[in-house]
Amino acid sequence: MAEFPSKVSTRTSSPAQGAGASVSALRPDLGFVRSSLGALMLLQLLMIFNVGATVLYITAFITCSAAVELTSLKGTRPYNQRAAASFFACLVMIAYGVSAFFSFQAWRGVGSNAATSQMAGGYA
């Protein structure tokens, strides 16, 4: 323990005069985003967003459909509003579900399961 302080360097650099939080420090790393790992990370975030939105719109569709009063007459304003909201929630739910499916397919890759990659490698 006696030689520990001699191994530690405590030199610090002083910031430039008048330099606070620079804008360049807040700029995203575009090189990482353009890399294959960065693209896969963004694709996975989009997939998670689409799945979450699908679940939320499923609950919106069920809630709007269940909220239509049984005693309301077809063609009245409250009935039409609930029916339109349910229809829109159903359409958006299907769109997000399809988008999540295609995001998952792109994330997984075409034919990238263990069996096909082993067969393509000449192990058969």
Contact 100, 50 (CB under 8 A): yes
Structure tokens that stand for 9 in this block: 């360097």
Per-residue pLDDT at 34: 79
pTM of the model: 0.54
Q: pLDDT tier at 124 (50, 70, 90 boundaries)?
A: very low
Structure tokens that stand for 100 in this block: 């999540």
Per-residue pLDDT at 94: 92
pLDDT at 123 over 60: no
Give the whole-angstrom CA distance, residue 46 versus residue 65. 28
What are the tens digits of pLDDT across the range 21-64? 555 666 777 787 778 888 778 888 888 888 898 999 899 888 88
